[in-house]
Structure 1
Amino acid sequence: MFLKSLMLKGFKSFADKTTLQFEPGITVVVGPNGTGKSNLVDAVAWVLGAQGPRTLRGGKMDDVIFAGAPGRPALGRAEVSLTIDNEAGLLPIDFSEVTITRTIFRNTGESEYALNGAPCRLLDIQDLLSDTGIGRQQHVIVGQGQIDTVLTARPEERRAIIEEAAAILKFRRRRERAERRLETTEGNLLRLNDLVREVRRQLTPLQKQADAARRHGGLVEELRSIRLYLAGHEIGGLQARLERVRDQRAEFEATENGVRLRLRELDTAVLDVEHSLTALGHDDLAEWLVRVESLRERSRGVLALLEEKQRGVDRELTAAADRGVVETLIADAVAVRRELADVDTDAAALGPRLVEVEEAEQQVAAER
């Protein structure tokens, strides 16, 4: 396994796309100061996941993007791709070549990673390279002054270096990640237990509410059934009442028809009687009847007038002390009595004629 190629575009001093091809063995890059030799090493460390700007000899992460030059504007992004030969199969992936790509944008300052062109996470790249001794925190890149740092390091620091060289680092990282996940899980369990206690505390009132809801549902259904029964019963009563009303209406119509028929019969009978009377020669019978009825009405009026005057006389006799007034009232009473006597005389004179009329009516009725 070896580095096969390195492509830089917009990274530090490499504004244009630059590709370096490597062969198995040792590759030496030489040149004067300021030509970008150290930038190549920074590019390898950056594409492998370096996160500290100081590691890349900068103040902030977007300093790795080409900042511009006289006659050349600054770029908005930087991209580095590192291709590793995997013919030996040391990397746990089914590809003969593995290309790791990292891109950073100036406006957001965020980095994107890709593995053989497919987007991925930095953690995926670290897991892939952990068994090979290659990574951003492993000592495959030794910069200026780092040898002296190793020689003057404390025993704990040297132990860390030896563990990294012995490929123990990946297991430590895995253990740390497992411990963090375990702590997170324990925290989740604590919150879950709190939730369980809270739910259990609320369970009793919720059960009561559920029972009340079930009872309410049953009562609503029972009420609906009762309402349906009452509606059916009321409808039945209304139908029976409607039938009775229809029967009564039929009876009333039959009675009305009978009455109308009786009235027509009576009208016919009256006409027949009038014709019969005319045929018998009693043409003046109607005039006699009118006179008799007029006398009767006159006698009733005179009696009513007499009674009213008698009541007035009594009131005036009580209230008035004048003798002349009393005599006038008595004279009026005598005149009224005399007029009443005349009416009675006329009525007596008409009596025989009335008898004749009644006998004529009876004879007509007998002939019918």
Structure 2
Amino acid sequence: MFLKRIEMQGFKSFADRTVIQFDHPITGIVGPNGCGKSNIADSVRWVLGEQSAKSMRGDKMNDVIFAGSADRRRVNMAEVTLVFDNTNHILNDDKDEIEVTRRLFRDSGEAEYLINRKNVRLKDIVDLFLDTGLGKDSLSIISQGNVLSFAEAKPLERRGIFEEAAGVAKYKKRKLESLSKLERTKANLDRSNDILIELEKQVSPLKRQARKAEIYREKKKRLEEIEISVLVQDIESIHADIETAKKALFDIETKTTMFSTDIQINETKLSESRRQISILDREINDLQDELMKKFNEIAGLEARRTELDEKRKYIVETGTNEQKAKQLAGLIEEAKVEYEDRQKRLDNLNTEIRLYSQQLSAAAANIVDKRSEYDQASNRLRS
């Protein structure tokens, strides 16, 4: 594994896109003062995860973005890409070439980290180079003054430098992470024990509450079963009442139809009886008129008979007109017969009138009864 290429744009003094190609592993970068040697080393450390603006020789991290010059405007973004040869797969990736990119935006201050043009976290980049000898603090990048600082470093600091160079920093970091996890686990265990003790205190009340809840559920279930049973019985009873009411309604409707028919028939009979009574009344009136005429005729005949009797007596007494007297006697006898016949007819008419009157009264009473039954049935039907 070695660094094949550095691509920079907007980083410190490299305002334009600059590509530095390394065909073979390199030992160092040399050049006159101010040519950008330190900026190249800073760009490598910056991509590898350097977060200290002071280490990047600035006051704040935005100072790594090209700030402009007399003839160039400043830019709003700094971007550096390191391209590594990974044919021996030292880096934990299957690709033979790995690109690691870091960007920083001036306006928002946001940073982006990419591996093979895919957004990742800073931690992913640090983990990628862990135990490879590369890193922002590794001895693979030695800037001006690092040798002097190494010579003047304290023993503990010097030990850290050797551990980094020997590749044991990865294990120390993992050890620290493991110890930290162990401490967190121990703290969680202690907290779990405290919670367990507290829960044990609550077990008995919770058991009682659980038993009460179980009893409640059983009783509620039983109550629901009883309510369902009662509801089913009520529904069946209601259905039975509905069927009974339907049957009663059908009977009432049938009776109502029958009553209506009977009423119509009786009303028809009543109308016919009234018509017949009217006819009989007219006949009676006619007969009474005729009877009065006959009475008048009879009265006249009686008077005539009396007169004839007087004349007959006179004739008999005088012995004259005997034949004429016999004729008058015959006329009187005929008048009596006709009178008796008319009297008989009058009696028959009176009898017939009484009969029709009785029939009319019976029909009217029957209509009243049927009307009352019809009204009662209608009231039951409405209720």
Instruction: Provide the residue aligned with 2:121 in structure 1.
Output: 121
SS at match of 1:273: helix
Instruction: Provide the residue aligned with 1:267 in structure 2.
Output: 274
Deviations 1:23-68 (A, max 9, x none): 3254543333222211111011111111111111111111101111
Deviations 1:311-344 (A, max 9, x none): xxxxxxxxxxxxxxxxxxxxxxxxxxxxxxxxxx
Q: Structure 2 counterpart of 1:112, which letter? A: E
Q: Is the 8 A contact 1:277 1:364 kept in 2?
A: no
CA distance in 1, matches of 2:264, 2:193: 91
> Shift in Å at residue 138 of structure 1?
2.2
Q: Structure 1 counterpart of 2:157, which letter? A: E
CA distance in 1, matches of 2:230, 2:105: 71
Instruction: Provide the residue aligned with 2:76 in structure 1.
Output: 76
Matches within 5 A, 1:157-172: 157-172=157-172
CA distance in 1, matches of 2:28, 2:221: 84
Q: Is the 8 A contact 1:6 1:20 kept in 2?
A: yes
CA distance in 2, matches of 1:24, 1:46: 22
> Shift in Å at residue 367 of structure 1?
9.8
CA distance in 2, matches of 1:113, 1:13: 21
> Shift in Å at residue 106 of structure 1?
1.2
SS at match of 1:114: strand
Q: Structure 2 counterpart of 1:13, which letter? A: S
Q: Is the 8 A contact 1:277 1:283 kept in 2?
A: no
CA distance in 2, matches of 1:367, 1:156: 150
SS at match of 2:42: helix
Identify the range of structure 1 (64-73 vs 235-244) with the bigger mean alpha-carbon deviation. 235-244
TM-score, normalisation: structure 2 = 0.65
SS at match of 2:41: helix
Identify the range of structure 1 (246-255 vs 236-245) with the bigger mean alpha-carbon deviation. 246-255
Residues 95 and 281 of structure 1: is their aligned pair in 2 closer, same or farther, counting only changes over 3 Å?
closer
Identify the range of structure 1 (4-13 vs 113-122) with the bigger mean alpha-carbon deviation. 113-122
Identify the range of structure 1 (94-103 vs 37-46) with the bigger mean alpha-carbon deviation. 94-103
Instruction: Provide the residue aligned with 1:5 in structure 2.
Output: 5
> Shift in Å at residue 162 of structure 1?
2.5
CA distance in 2, matches of 1:247, 1:109: 96
Q: Is the 8 A contact 1:84 1:97 kept in 2?
A: yes
CA distance in 2, matches of 1:235, 1:228: 10
> Shift in Å at residue 232 of structure 1?
1.7
TM-score, normalisation: structure 1 = 0.67
Matches within 5 A, 1:328-347: none
CA distance in 2, matches of 1:68, 1:14: 10
SS at match of 2:130: helix
> Shift in Å at residue 221 of structure 1?
4.7
Instruction: Provide the residue aligned with 2:153 in structure 1.
Output: 153
Q: Structure 1 counterpart of 2:173, which letter? A: R
Residues 364 and 8 of structure 1: is their aligned pair in 2 closer, same or farther, counting only changes over 3 Å?
closer
Identify the range of structure 1 (172-181 vs 92-101) with the bigger mean alpha-carbon deviation. 172-181
Q: Does 1:34 align with 2:37?
A: no
Q: Aligned pairs, how many? A: 297
SS at match of 1:12: coil
Q: Is the 8 A contact 1:11 1:79 kept in 2?
A: yes
Listed as ranges, the gaps of 5+ residues in structure 1 are: 286-355
Deviations 1:80-116 (A, max 9, x none): 1111222333223222222211111112222211122
Instruction: Provide the residue aligned with 1:323 in structure 2.
Output: none
> Shift in Å at residue 188 of structure 1?
6.7
Q: Structure 2 counterpart of 1:243, which letter? A: F
Instruction: Provide the residue aligned with 2:360 in structure 1.
Output: none
Listed as ranges, the gaps of 5+ residues in structure 2 are: 293-343, 357-383
Q: Structure 2 counterpart of 1:237, which letter? A: T
Residues 366 and 208 of structure 1: is their aligned pair in 2 closer, same or farther, counting only changes over 3 Å?
closer
SS at match of 2:131: helix
Q: Is the 8 A contact 2:38 2:143 kept in 1?
A: no
Matches within 5 A, 1:294-313: none
Q: Is the 8 A contact 1:8 1:17 kept in 2?
A: yes
CA distance in 1, matches of 2:107, 2:216: 56
Instruction: Provide the residue aligned with 1:234 in structure 2.
Output: 241
SS at match of 2:89: coil
Q: Structure 2 counterpart of 1:240, which letter? A: K
